[in-house]
Amino acid sequence: MPQARYAFPKGFLWGCATAAHQVEGGNTNNNWYAWENEPGRILHGQKSAKACDWWAGRWKEDFDRAAETGQNAHRLSIEWSRVQPAPDRWDENAIDAYREIIRGMLDRKLMPMVTLHHFTDPLWISERGGWESAQTPELFALYARKMVEALKDLVNMWITINEPNVYTYGGYLNGGFPPGKNDLKAAFQVMYNLLKGHSLAYKIIHELQDNPQVGIAPNYRSFVAARPWLPLDAAITNMLSSSYNDAFPQATRTGKLRFAFQSAAIPEALGTLDFFGINYYTRDLVKFVLKPGQLFHERAFPPEAAQSDTGFIASVPDGFREGLRWAAKYRMPIYITENGVEDAKDILRPSYLVEHLHQVWHLANQNVPIKGYFHWSLVDNFEWERGWTQRFGLWGLDVDTQKRVRRPSVDLYEAICKQNAIHSEIVQRYAPQSFNRLFPE
């Protein structure tokens, strides 16, 4: 059996990512709580409820687990509706609670990466028109200022907006996220206002801190023409990738937003990134179809790719390499801010993890400036419109008892984190089905 070791750069960050509404529990003042209480919005009518019970303090045991298993960083988000429950009121107790959580991370030697907006909006923002309203970027900027002032002695790495493309598509083009619209004009306005909010927050963070690191975390989805010889497939694939993957980050380079067949100047977005985050999960094969309601396309996974247990994700490591090369075009440090697979039985996750990390190693050792990897996720959590039907955690969760269950992938990720490397013995032990792909004779 060949022996080899794929070593990552010194100082590489290893962690997991979480989002407030998905793990905290008891968030009752945001648009997702309202969405959960509308019939038919969440699969099987499930609710976040206690989630992972972090707001009651169970973050402590989960961060203990993260630190004990070799992780040195963690990405989490702030719940805007907790710290600003009404337009004229700040909840200082909630802000103090976030300070305690982040101090707890630092005490465990977990470097915090803090996301200011991860899909949820306070109800009072939604009632004012949400991100369709021209006022919301300014209101978001006030919230950003408050949080940076409160956390600047503890946090130096910030993500302003998580997956602005998913937020826009989910809420304004396919209706699966609140407010459940299918409106190209509204989608463009939301994307534009998210860019304004990001730009304002970027400037505020740099005003309040010396040398902070500020980025975004777009979702990169690999789109490949199903029939590359057919010009219509190629054209619709390029259009989809341009609107979905490129629109938001490209505006930070050009000062112009091009999205959903519309464009607008946004010069304040120029130069508003210090690092580039990327969330990657899977690849789609794209076909042109004469269906305007589907934006003239349909998608399917590559037939040879292994699929997750609910068929939500296909394991395509080549798509990850493609996404990292795409991110490298922005010529700044790269952090993989989410990557993982839903897998309740932990059958696909080991091979998915090592084969995707192998792509990271390839590029990091070709001088692509990849600085860290945040696995999605630390523990099973509430997966938005899909409720509790998908299990992304290294640790499983019994929702009723809040018991954590250690999956084998915990040990795999621990070995990689502690060695800062993928060793052939680790792969042979935890992901033998991937061994020959990673270590060919």
pLDDT tens for each residue of 382-430 = 999 999 999 999 999 999 999 999 999 999 999 999 999 999 999 999 9
Rounded CA-CA distance 280/189 in Å is 25
Rounded CA-CA distance 85/383 in Å is 23
For residue 393, count CB atoms less than 10 angstroms from its CB and return exposed for 0-12, middle for 13-18, buried for 19 or more: buried
Tell me, what's the pLDDT at 76? Answer: 98
Rounded CA-CA distance 331/273 in Å is 10
What pLDDT digit, counting tens, does each position of 43-67 carry? Answer: 999 999 999 999 999 999 999 999 9
Q: What is the mean pLDDT of residues 211-220?
A: 98
Rounded CA-CA distance 434/412 in Å is 13
Cα 56-62-68 angle, rounded to 5 deg: 150
Does the pLDDT at position 260 exceed 90? no
- Whether 411 maps to a domain, the answer reads no
- Domain of 128, CATH number, reads 3.20.20.80
Of 274, 276, 351, 355, nearest in space to 321 by CA: 355
Q: What is the mean pLDDT of residues 237-254?
A: 97
Q: What share of the chain is helix, strand, coil (3-state, %, to 5)?
A: 45, 20, 35
DSSP per-residue letters across 291-348:
-GGGTTEEEE--TTS-B-TTSS-B--HHHHHHHHHHHHTT-S-EEEEE-----TTSSS
Measured CA to CA in angstroms, residue 241 lies from 14, 370, 377 at distances of 29, 22, 26
- Residue 170 dihedral angles phi and psi, to the nearest 5°: -65, -40
Average pLDDT, the chain: 97
- Whether 70 maps to a domain, the answer reads yes
Tell me, what's the pLDDT at 346? Answer: 98
Q: What is the mean pLDDT of residues 1-13?
A: 91
- Whether 418 maps to a domain, the answer reads no
Of 115, 135, 116, 114, nearest in space to 124 by CA: 135
Tell me, what's the pLDDT at 367? Answer: 94
Q: What is the mean pLDDT of residues 134-138?
A: 98
The sign one gets for the Cα dihedral 354, 359, 362, 366 is negative
Tell me, what's the pLDDT at 1? Answer: 64
What pLDDT digit, counting tens, does each position of 344-362 carry? Answer: 999 999 999 999 999 999 9
Rounded CA-CA distance 129/121 in Å is 11
- Whether 2 maps to a domain, the answer reads no
> Percent of the chain scored above 70 by pLDDT?
100
- Whether 93 maps to a domain, the answer reads yes
Tell me, what's the pLDDT at 261? Answer: 86
Q: How many residues does the chain have?
A: 441
Tell me, what's the pLDDT at 441? Answer: 81
Give 7's strand partners: 421
Tell me, what's the pLDDT at 237? Answer: 97
Of 393, 379, 406, 337, nearest in space to 58 by CA: 379
Neighbours of 441 (CB within 10 A): 5
Query: What total number of domains does the chain contain?
Result: 1
DSSP per-residue letters across 99-141:
HHHHHHHHHTT-EEEEEEESS--BHHHHHTTGGGSTTHHHHHH
How sure is the predictor about 292, in pLDDT bands with cuts at 50, 70 and 90? confident
Tell me, what's the pLDDT at 383? Answer: 98
Structure tokens that stand for 181 in this block: 């619209």
What pLDDT digit, counting tens, does each position of 24-47 carry? Answer: 999 999 999 999 999 999 999 999
Does the pLDDT at position 145 exceed 80? yes
Does the pLDDT at position 329 exceed 80? yes
Q: What is the mean pLDDT of residues 231-238?
A: 97
What does the longest C-alpha to C-alpha distance in the chain come to? 65
Does the pLDDT at position 176 exceed 80? yes
What pLDDT digit, counting tens, does each position of 53-103 carry? Answer: 999 999 999 999 999 999 999 999 999 999 999 999 999 999 999 999 999
- Whether 174 maps to a domain, the answer reads yes
- Whether 272 maps to a domain, the answer reads yes
Does the pLDDT at position 19 exceed 80? yes
Rounded CA-CA distance 243/251 in Å is 11
- Domain holding 27, by residue range, is 9-402
- Whether 439 maps to a domain, the answer reads no
